[in-house]
Amino acid sequence: MTSLVSVKNLSKSFPGVKALDKVHFDLRAGEVHALMGENGAGKSTLMKILAGVYQKDGGDMLLDGQPVEIESPAHAQTLAIGIVHQELHLMNHLTAAQNIFLGREPRRLGGLFLDEEKLNQDTQTLFDRLNLALSPTTTIGELTVARQQMVEIAKALSFKSRVLIMDEPTAALNNAEIDELFRIIRQLKSEGVGIVYISHKMDEIQRIADRITVMRDGCTIGTMPASTPLQQVIAMMVGRNLEQAEKHIPDTSAHEVLLEVRGLNHGRFIRNVSFSLRRGEILGFAGLMGAGRTEVARAVFGADPIDSGEVRVRGKTIPINAPIDAVRAGIGYLSEDRKQFGLATGMDVASNITLPSLRRWLKWGVFLNQSAIRSVSQKMVEKLHIKTPSLTQTAKLLSGGNQQKVVIAKWLVQDCDVLIFDEPTRGIDVGAKSEIYKLLNDLAAQGKAIIVISSELPEVLLLSHRVLVMCEGRITGEMAGDVATQESLMALATQRDAPAATMH
């Protein structure tokens, strides 16, 4: 069978990094081909070459069996290759139709005027093809992330794409939205579109994919059916035996209470939230999207204002009006949006790691002790297995998983006693997840007090010594980690106004 697209011996290097090393990959018409690998394995680089974002250094690319050089994203579109990036490229102030045909708007009267009617008709035709209940005239900023993603897919198909690349398409979607996305993928597959699907989520891969190709360290490790056992795929991805995080719940009842929150309120987002956290404890926060978990974390950290309530650290009430107050009190916060709130993406790795603790590295109160900064940063890079060519590498050039590790490193260097991890493994591969799980357990064993907020219930259950469940801004229940189940947590997560339940 002739492949829609195939690459042979494809290579690509960046300064200090061999991103792709003689990679092989092919995509057939009417199939979903999953591309898997740890962060930094080369998946996104390969896809960006296919989409014309990067140019290859060596190797061959074939389209319908014929050699091709893809010179730019615009050239890729003319070759019927479309890509839906993990970070959506839409303009919020424009309508769906305007976004889809931006720069290609139909014109009338010799091109003098925009043909708004035809613009909306052409967009409606695309939406009808995908069975999407969307209006072409809806402003993008009014749509959910899931709906915006559907507009991105429609935009790619407006170029009559026969190859569609999807990079982590479900990262910000709930289960119902994932089902809708999969419906569209199956429909496109039935029409003969070849889909490259990049994801870390094995359950999704086995639901939607036909084949899997695994990459590691810029090389193709192998291609196999999607029915291949999970452990075999993971072993190929990581090239090593994962150290499993063991569930051990220590008795912290006699330990010092490091953090206590009393009667926290902020509009409808936080409603009379109270809890305590002891030294050596991992406290999980579970709940559905919009339950108020992140809002509580941001309020405790001083990133958002509160209407009432108090935060106590080591028994003392601390007025936290800004994040600097929280940091001085020994509280660190790993945001769910690492690029916006966790990293200075234009700065290098060493600067990001030491930024919150910069005063510590001053000589005579004036000059930065660069050798000390390099030393502590190098220790963190080695401890967290951060893949970077050097400490001077710009943070934005790291893979998502390694960016996340840099954010964790900066709070470890600051030596905060209370650490709040909001979606700590979002966008991170299975190998890095295992390392972070072990790290969190090690930190708790060292006496850190940890809050973990996660939308993945198995992750909450694996890590937490105790779990608090929220719904519509309230704590609806508390469960000991050794008795909590996904079913019991979900029941509490949908319990709107009943009194909070406690189970031990």
Same domain? For 76 and 165 the reply is yes
Tell whether 248 is covered by a domain. Answer: no
Tell me the per-residue pLDDT of 326-335, one tens digit each, with 9 for 90 and over.
Answer: 999 999 998 8
Same domain, residue pair 300 and 382: no
Single residue among 367, 383, 414 that ends a domain in this structure: 414
Q: Are strands 362-363 and 331-334 parallel, antiparallel or unpaired?
A: unpaired
Q: What is the mean pLDDT of residues 10-33?
A: 91
200 Cα distance to chain centroid = 10
pLDDT-above-70 percentage for the chain = 93
CATH code of residue 460: 3.40.50.300
Question: pLDDT digits over 268-285, tens only?
Answer: 889 999 999 999 999 999
Alpha-carbon distance of 196 to 445, in angstroms, equals: 42
Phi, psi of 231 (to 5 degrees): -65, -35
Burial of 167 (0-12, 13-18, 19+ CB in 10 A): buried
427 plus 408 within the same structural domain: no
User: Is the same domain home to 163 and 274?
Assistant: no
Q: Are residues 409 and 302 in the same domain?
A: no
Is the Cβ–Cβ distance between 68 and 61 less than 8 Å?
yes
Distance of alpha carbon 134 from alpha carbon 124, whole angstroms: 8
Among 414, 439, 459, residue at a domain's last position: 414
Of 288, 289, 297, 375, nearest to 341 by C-alpha is 297
Q: For residue 220, tell me if it sits in a domain.
A: yes
Do residues 402 and 427 both lie within one domain?
A: no
Q: Which segment of 46-50, 375-379, 434-438, 483-487 scores lowest on mean pLDDT? A: 434-438
Shortest CA distance to 405 belongs to which of 435, 375, 376?
435
Given a cut of 80, whether residue 477 has pLDDT beyond it is yes
Higher pLDDT, 172 or 49: 49
- Is residue 406 domain-shared with residue 462, that is, in the same domain? no
What pairing do the DSSP bridges indicate for beta strands 449-453 and 418-422?
Answer: parallel
Are 420 and 400 within one domain?
Answer: no
pLDDT at 494 over 70: yes
Which range has the worst mean pLDDT, 7-11, 140-144, 318-322? 140-144
Asked which of 382, 414, 446 is the last residue of a domain, the reply is 414
Range of the domain at 351: 344-414
pLDDT(243) > 70: no
Q: Are residues 66 and 157 in the same domain?
A: yes
Q: Kindly tell me if the per-residue pLDDT of 423 is higher than 70.
A: yes
Q: Is 77 left (phi over 0), alpha (psi -120 to 50) or beta?
A: alpha
Q: Are 271 and 390 in a shared domain?
A: no
From residue 457, alpha-carbon distances to 17, 271, 331, 480, 490 in Å are: 36, 23, 25, 14, 9
Mark whether 205 and 305 lie in a shared domain. no
**179 or 340, higher pLDDT:** 179
- pLDDT for the residue 247: 65
Q: Is residue 271, in this structure, part of any structural domain at all?
A: yes
The answer to the question of residue 246 being in a domain is: no
Tell me the pLDDT tens digit for each residue of 74-99: 999 899 998 888 777 889 899 999 99
Question: Does 388 lie in the same domain as 440?
Answer: no
pLDDT tens-digit readout, 333-391: 988 766 666 788 888 999 889 887 777 877 776 778 888 888 999 998 988 888 888 99
Q: What's the pLDDT tens digit per position in 402-411?
A: 887 888 888 8
pLDDT by residue (tens digit) across 287-310?
877 789 999 999 999 999 999 999
Average pLDDT taken over every residue of the chain: 86
Q: Residue 335: what pLDDT?
A: 83
- pTM (2 decimals)? 0.61
pLDDT band at 63 (very low <50, low <70, confident <90, very high): very high
Compute the distance between CA of residue 311 and CA of residue 319 in angstroms, rounded to an integer. Answer: 7
**Residue 339 in domain:** no
In a domain, 336, yes or no: no
Query: What share of the chain in percent tops pLDDT 90?
Result: 44
Given a cut of 70, is residue 254 above it in pLDDT? yes
- Is 251 a member of any domain? no
pLDDT bin (cut points 50, 70, 90) of residue 138 is very high
Judged by average pLDDT, the poorest of 38-52, 203-217, 292-306 is 38-52
Dihedral of CA atoms 448, 449, 455, 456 in degrees, nearest 10, equals: 60
Q: What's the CA gap between 294 and 270, in Å, rounded?
A: 10
Residue 489 has pLDDT above 80, yes or no: yes
Number of domains in the chain: 3
Taking residue 294's Cβ as centre, other Cβ atoms within 10 Å add up to 22
**What is the band of 240 on the pLDDT scale with cuts at 50, 70, 90?**
low
Distance CA 415, CA 64 (A): 56
Q: Look at residue 354 and tell me if it is in a domain.
A: yes
